[in-house]
Structures are given as C-alpha cells and as structure tokens.
Structure 1
Amino acid sequence: MGKSYNVLIIGAGNIGAFFDMPYSKNVLTHAHAFSKVEGFNLLGFVDVDNKKAIEAANIWNAKAFESIEEAFTNNTIDIVSICVPDEYHYKILDEISIFSVKVVFTEKPLTKNLIEAKKIIQLYNENNIKCMINYSRRFVSQFEQIKNEIEEGKYGELLCGSGYYGKGILHNGSHLIDLLRYIYGEIKSTQTLSYNYDYYKDDASVSAILTFNNNSNFVIQNIPASNYTIFEIDLLFEKKRIRITDSGFKIEIQEVLDSNVFKGYKNIVKTSERKTELGEALENAVLNIYNHLKYGEKLKCNIHDAYEVIKICENLQSGRRL
C-alpha cells in the first residue's frame, strides 16, 4: 500500500486491545484493525494503568508509553485512536489537539455533551485535524447498500419503525440514532416517553418517539441492560420491511406480495436474509482512514455527524422536544 502511518492507541482496554487476539477471525479491537490493514504501523499504547499498556503492547508487538507526551517525544504519530471511557473523551481529544496529527479515530460518543463537542469541533477546525467516530455500522457494506436502495426509491416511503437498545441513550442508543440518520435521513422532532438508569448514573436509557422529515414515526424502546443485550431495528416501508437483528449481524428483508389465501389482499413476507460484515467493521473503518489519507476518500462518520447525534440524545435525556 505504500507509506506506513504511525498509530498510537490511547486506552488499553477491551475495545482498544483485549476483545480479540492477532489470530482471531473477527477484528474486534483497534489494535487488530491497525495491525491487519497494510499501510499502518501500530507504534504503541498509552493507558492510565501502565501495566495494561505493557500487556497490550506485548500482545500486539508494540510499545508501551507512560504518557501521551512521552509517546509524541521523538515519534511521528499520524493517527490517534481514542479508546477510553466516555467521560474521558473530551479531555483526551483536547490534550492531543496540540500535536500534529492527521486523523483522530475515537470511540463513540464524541463527547458527553454538546458544549464539549462544540469546543472540540472548533479546536480541530483550527488545527486542521480530521476526526472520525466509530459508529461501527457505517462501515458495513450491507448497511450502505440499504441506504443506497432507500435513496433510489426501491422501498418506497417509510411508514413507521421501531427499535430496541439498552445501556444508555448516549453510550448505546446513539448507535441506533446514528444508523437511522445514516440510512434514512434527518430526525426533525423527538418526544420522550420514559427513561431508566439501567447502567450509567449520568446516561439514562430513554424510550421515545422520533419523527423524520416525511412525518413518519419511529418508536425507540429501552430494554434495561440487566435483562440482556439487544440492538434491533424494524423499518416498514411502502414496498418492503427491513429488520436488523442480532446487533446488526443479520438483515431480514420482507416484501409486499399478493396473499395466497385471501384474494385482493397483500401480505408482507420474508424473502431473504443477509449476513453482514459487522465483525469486520473496525477493519473497514481503518481502511477508510487509509483511503482518506492516500486518495482523499470521504471519512464515513465525521465530527459533525457525531455532533448531530449528541444533540438528539441531549434532547431525549432532558425530555425536551426538538
């Protein structure tokens, strides 16, 4: 692929280093993705717990640094991956803005609130740093295909929809909101129905009605994380129905067909099921970063996409209407 870009991973936790190993089939960590895609050199890790950074470095054949400053001393770092808990995103994004970095790849959400997000957008614009956010389903070709088919009118207008998630509207529900914005379009209004603090004390899981620009409604339901993990979306269009299940590993397609029993009636019938490459989403995201740097390809989830999601989540948390 040509030039190698040096990568620093900040946060040696599960998503940064430990969800998989170099020999694992699925690419589930930033370390695995940057190690697998040609064109990158995984330089090392920084973590507040230096023992974790050392452990990650040993697994992924990289270095362990005691601080961000140490990592940037005598090293050219092109890419920074941020894999720290949500509440530290703003601090780390702010801290690395003083360095000459080409792209920052951060876990979602961008920040914990809009005030922080606005500050980061201003900083990164001033310092000409590109930022991509890991809303992982944007990096799955099957969702891009559905997006394109919707835009081409193959499904007709959206009639209504519903979805299920848990573990905080910002931490996990934002995945659902971002995917809806990505494959269908802007959400013009929201109405909060109920909420519970099922995992995070400062991030309620919200049930709500989302309304799109065509006035169709989508009901988002929170399922407390103590019961089980769920991520599902059901979209009913004029011509087809799309069911996204198994956290996004499967997409079920149903089509409108004439009833075999009742003359003149139509039924919605399952006609196909697609397995997605969600297990390769991180690898695809890293490839997007390389193609952006090498060929000018557009980053598939930019800082402004992440800002719009935070705005919706904040309105849902506060119970306000957009």
Structure 2
Amino acid sequence: MKKYSAAVVGLGSIGQGLDYDLDVNRKDICLTHASSYYQHYGFQLVAGVDTSDSFRAKFKSKFQAPAFLTVSELEKIKPDVISICVPSHLHKSIFDEVIDLGPKAIVCEKPISDSLLEADEMVKKAQSKQCLLIVNFIRRFEKGNLELKKKFDRNEFGKIRKVSVFYSKGVLNNGSHFINLLSFFFGEPVYCRVIQKGNVLGNLDIEPDFLLKFQNGVDAYFIAGTETDFSVKEIVFLTEKGIINYQQGGMKIEYFPVDISSIFKDYKIKSLESQPVTTDFNRYQWYTVDALYNHLEHGVDCNSDGLSALHTQLVVDKIFSQYNQMEGMK
C-alpha cells in the first residue's frame, strides 16, 4: 500500500495542540492535522514547521520527525501533502511558499483567507498547478454529517420547512462552518439579508443575525449568541416529518419524528423519542485525511475544495458588506 508523505505548517492548536497530551497511539480521538497523518494508514508524517521553538520541540518529541523554522526547509523533503495551520491572515503567503514545493495536495484551514481576492488567487493558482486544494470544513467529511446528507437527499424527512442556526464567535470564524455545511446539504445560497447587526469582535469579525435562502428553497435563519456567555454551535431543522436537533457543532444529531398524541386524538406532535444519527466527531480530522487519501489513491472527489470554500467566502463577504451599510442598527 502506498504511503504519502505529509507535513504540517503551523504547530499550534489545530496543527498539533488540541490532542497533544493524548497518547500518540490512541485512535479514538483525532483532532489535529499532525495526529491525523500519524494515525492514518495511508500517510507518513515527515515534518512540521513553526516559528516557535517550543512547538517545534514538542512536535519532534511526540512524532519523532523533524521540525523546521521555515517553509523553505521543506524543499529537502518535498512532501506529497502539506497542511496550512497558521492564522488565516497568513494563509496566502504560506500557500505561495508551499505550492512552489510541488505538492500533490494542500489542506488549508478555514477560512481559506481573510481576503476574498486572496482566496480567489489561491484557488486559481492551485488549479493552474494541478494541486488539489482542500479547505478544512470538517463537517463535509465526518461520517454523521455525510449520513445526514444522504437522508436529506433521499427525502427521508419530507420538506424542510425552516432551519435555525445558533452560532457564536463570529460569522467568519464559526458562522462560516454552518454556511458551508448548509450549502453542502441544500446547494449554494441564492439570497442573503442581514437582519440585525449584533456584536463586533475586535476588528476582524462580527456576529449579526441573518437570513440565507438556498438553491433548493430552504430558508435558514442564523442567530448569533454571545461567546462570553458560552460557545454555541447548534442547528434545528424543522421538517415536514419531524425535527432534527444538531447539537454541539455535530457531536450529537437526533431526529424526533412526528407522533400521534396519546391524550388528544388525531393530534400530531413531536415525539419524545429520538432516532440518533451516528457520529464520530471525536475523530473529525481523521475523516478529512481519509477523504484526501481516497482522492489521491482512487480519484474520489473531495467534498470540500477551494472552489466550494470560495463560494462560502463570497457569502461571508456579502454579510460583511450589508453589515457595514447598516449604520446605527443594533
């Protein structure tokens, strides 16, 4: 079996930190790029890159592989696959260095860039170099979300009446995950309207309430919470045949079908008994890498590429534009 060499640029939280303290051979949790390459049978983790001395030392200690100060030092290895896990405002500059090394694929953390222009340039450059660009919208790969999409495609829930999305920590940082996910389920948005401005997070992100209408006719209302209260990543799908509760960002997905009331004759109600959709969210990053392997080895299309991420970025850009035109509204 062929193994593809892989390197991780950026050894912070998503690069290696989130599951760093777990045993290197533990397989039931996989939250970072480094762990996913290390755990997957189709890859060999060959290097890391970071400007932090301590992060490089931790990488070398755990994964027994070299860690470099600069991307240019990867030239001596030329990995088949390179993950970009640096802050989003650095994505474009790191991407330009990485793609010149000639990798077969680049896995870039979301959002693809803070700049729509830069995102477009990255997508076009990857296409011109015949390099697969995956953007790490993890829910497009995780098995519970894929099963839910199949159920939507089979029309198991009947007509989708409305969708409510509850998010916090910004439309760019977290809201974009669910814009992208609903686009995966229902087609790209065809209409966008900011309803209420909400909070401003520093100079880089915002938390408005907004409405999106998707290609298949589904309306989704995004409602912002307050991150300082608690982090919220929940979706409620109101359907013809019941209600789907999508909880804690996808950790738990439950379907509550319509039932007949035992008290009021012929009165339809939401059942108190749920039908779970099996998820494996503790290993979400492994599923991204597995999809990448299936593409490289078998030519299987990837569910989240640069173009789909660019479409999400376009929607986010429209939300920011409308937000900035709503002076004085709270």
| 1:292 alignment counterpart | 295
| 2:98 alignment counterpart | 96
CA contact 1:160–1:237 (8 Å) conserved in 2: yes
| 1:58 alignment counterpart | 61
Give SS of 1:201's match.
coil
- Note the alpha carbon deviations across 1:171-190, whole angstroms, 9 max, x for none: 11111111111122222111
Q: Percent identity?
A: 27
- Structure 2 letter corresponding to 1:293: L
In structure 1, what is the Cα distance between the partners aligned to 2:217 and 2:151? 20
- Structure 1 letter corresponding to 2:39: K
Relative to structure 1, is the Cα distance of residues 95 and 76 closer, same or farther in structure 2, using a 3 angstrom cutoff?
A: closer
CA contact 1:166–1:198 (8 Å) conserved in 2: no
CA contact 2:30–2:286 (8 Å) conserved in 1: yes
Give SS of 1:173's match.
helix
Displacement, 1:275? 4.5
Corresponding residue to 2:39 among 36, 40, 65: 36
| 1:231 alignment counterpart | 233
- Structure 2 letter corresponding to 1:96: V
CA contact 2:82–2:107 (8 Å) conserved in 1: yes
| 2:223 alignment counterpart | 221
CA contact 1:144–1:183 (8 Å) conserved in 2: no
Are residue 68 (structure 1) and residue 71 (structure 2) matched?
Answer: yes
Are residue 4 (structure 1) and residue 6 (structure 2) matched?
Answer: no
CA contact 2:72–2:97 (8 Å) conserved in 1: no
Are residue 272 (structure 1) and residue 265 (structure 2) matched?
Answer: no
In structure 2, what is the Cα distance between the partners aligned to 1:52 and 1:266? 57
Alignment TM-score, normalising by the size of structure 2 = 0.92
| 2:316 alignment counterpart | 313
Relative to structure 1, is the Cα distance of residues 252 and 198 closer, same or farther in structure 2, using a 3 angstrom cutoff?
A: farther
In structure 2, what is the Cα distance between the partners aligned to 1:77 and 1:154? 43
CA contact 1:19–1:28 (8 Å) conserved in 2: yes
Give SS of 1:117's match.
helix
In structure 2, what is the Cα distance between the partners aligned to 1:171 and 1:134? 12
Alignment TM-score, normalising by the size of structure 1 = 0.94
CA RMSD for the aligned pairs?
1.7
Give SS of 2:31's match.
coil
- Note the alpha carbon deviations across 1:271-299, whole angstroms, 9 max, x for none: 32334111111111111111111111111
Are residue 181 (structure 1) and residue 180 (structure 2) matched?
Answer: no
Corresponding residue to 1:169 among 158, 171, 184: 171
Relative to structure 1, is the Cα distance of residues 213 and 294 closer, same or farther in structure 2, using a 3 angstrom cutoff?
A: closer
- Note the alpha carbon deviations across 1:175-222, whole angstroms, 9 max, x for none: 111111112222211111223445442111221111223544211011
- Structure 2 letter corresponding to 1:120: M
CA contact 1:257–1:267 (8 Å) conserved in 2: yes
- Structure 2 unaligned runs (5+)? 326-330
In structure 1, what is the Cα distance between the partners aligned to 2:135 and 2:316? 16
In structure 1, what is the Cα distance between the partners aligned to 2:11 and 2:100? 22
| 1:253 alignment counterpart | 255
Relative to structure 1, is the Cα distance of residues 61 and 203 closer, same or farther in structure 2, using a 3 angstrom cutoff?
A: same
Give SS of 1:319's match.
helix
Counting only pairs closer than 5 Å after superposition, residues 111-190 of structure 1 correspond to structure 2 as 111-190=113-192
- Structure 2 letter corresponding to 1:156: G
- The total of aligned residue pairs comes to 319
- Structure 2 letter corresponding to 1:305: S
| 2:29 alignment counterpart | 26
In structure 2, what is the Cα distance between the partners aligned to 1:285 and 1:97? 20
| 2:328 alignment counterpart | none
In structure 2, what is the Cα distance between the partners aligned to 1:157 and 1:146? 14
| 1:16 alignment counterpart | 15
In structure 1, what is the Cα distance between the partners aligned to 2:92 and 2:226? 27
Are residue 45 (structure 1) and residue 48 (structure 2) matched?
Answer: yes
CA contact 1:16–1:30 (8 Å) conserved in 2: yes
In structure 1, what is the Cα distance between the partners aligned to 2:13 and 2:197? 28
Corresponding residue to 1:83 among 80, 85, 91: 85
Displacement, 1:89? 1.1
In structure 2, what is the Cα distance between the partners aligned to 1:202 and 1:178? 19
- Structure 1 letter corresponding to 2:4: Y
